[in-house]
Amino acid sequence: MTSGESDRTTALKELHERVTGLRSALGELVVGQDEAVLEILIALLCGGHVLLEGVPGIAKTLLARSLTSALGLEFRRIQFTPDLTPADVTGTNLFDFQSGTFHLQKGPVFTNILLADEINRTPPKTQSALLEAMEERQVTIDGVSHPLAAPFFVIATQNPLEHEGTYPLPEAQLDRFLIKVEMTYPVEDEELEIYRRFLDGRLGLSSGSARVNKVLDAGDIARTRDVLEGVHVEDKMLAYLKDLVVSSRRSLHLSLGASPRAGMALLAASRARAALAGRDFVIPDDVKRMAGPVLRHRLLPTPEAELEGMTASTILERLVGTIEVPR
């Protein structure tokens, strides 16, 4: 083993141990959402953003606050409403009558972790203000660009059951999210554990009381990018991923398939999942497990498929089953 390989192995081991510690710390407060926690961490380490979908009361806000506490980062929350304006998100220049000059009043987007609650409840113009910040890592106010903090990580939520008074994100804007996490109710044993922790005071009705000891920091997150780049992807694995992405464009049940950018997102997420499992190489299961979170919100079923009760997730599952797995 060369010195470079040894250093990479050591860095990979350290990343695995620290993220395992982070997942354990989050699990003390967020019960029954292990897969959701893993997918959110993958998005964070890849430098992407997350769209969280789930009904109220299943710990979406608690998860965001707990993650922020465990990373020692700044947290802000925006409750998206129909009357929210772009300036409410990005900020605005205010005139100071004493000095006779304008000064910038920064909006909540100037933070490390931003929880955008019910993003589909605000009009497209306000949605676009946030999505531009996600893409560019900066905001432009009165013609002047202002860089955002690093890391800048958005967790946007939407309720899958409510449609009245909402403004669904168009496909081009959905593509800005690296991963879509579908949070569901915990299984019964996990729900019983939630009630036990509430009784002994470890959990409260308010997510504002969430406190997790710091496990990683901004510097650790930046250093993980180098570790992820060291995760090897064989040519046959790359061809497997390509076949899966291309098959979505050929599906008769989809009017919109996955783009090459979606394929790159799947590749990045697969490498991250391999690293968090303690491996320096990608296996087919990494691609399979990340295909849903990365691709399902980027696929658009045909009207005929929807009439038959098919969803992007079920169509994707069928496609995954048709692709030959490399040996």
In the chain, where the domains are located: 3-225, 231-322
Strands 153-158 and 113-117, by their bridges, are parallel
| Cis peptide leading into residue 160 (ω within 30°) | no
Q: Using an 8 Å Cβ cutoff, are 86 and 218 in contact?
A: no
Integer Rg of the chain from CA: 21
Q: Using an 8 Å Cβ cutoff, are 37 and 26 in contact?
A: yes
Please give the Cα distance from 231 to 270 (Å, whole number).
10
E-assigned strand segments in the chain:
50-53, 75-79, 91-96, 101-106, 113-117, 138-141, 144-147, 153-158, 179-182, 254-256, 300-301
What's the fold here for domain 3-225? Rossmann fold (3.40.50)
Strands 50-53 and 153-158, by their bridges, are parallel
Spell out the residues 6+ positions from residue 153 whose beta carbon is closer than 8 angstroms to its own. 43, 44, 49, 50, 112, 113, 114
Phi, psi of 266 (to 5 degrees): -65, -40
231-322 has the same fold as 3-225: no
The pLDDT tens digits for 127-162 are 888 988 999 999 988 888 899 988 999 999 988 766
Q: What is the CATH number of domain 231-322?
A: 1.10.8.80
Q: At what angle do helices 60-71 and 3-27 cross, to 10 degrees?
A: 130
Please give the Cα distance from 111 to 99 (Å, whole number).
27
Would you say the C-alpha torsion 271, 272, 273, 274 has a positive or negative sign?
Answer: positive
The pLDDT tens digits for 64-73 are 888 988 888 9
Phi, psi of 183 (to 5 degrees): -90, 130
- From first to last of its 327 residues, the chain has per-residue pLDDT tens of 565 667 777 888 888 888 888 888 888 888 889 999 999 999 999 999 999 998 888 888 888 888 988 888 999 999 999 999 999 999 998 877 777 777 889 999 999 999 999 998 888 889 888 988 999 999 988 888 899 988 999 999 988 766 666 788 888 888 999 999 999 899 999 999 999 999 988 887 776 656 677 888 888 888 887 788 889 999 999 999 999 999 999 999 999 999 999 999 999 999 999 999 989 999 999 999 999 999 999 999 999 999 999 999 999 999 999 999 998
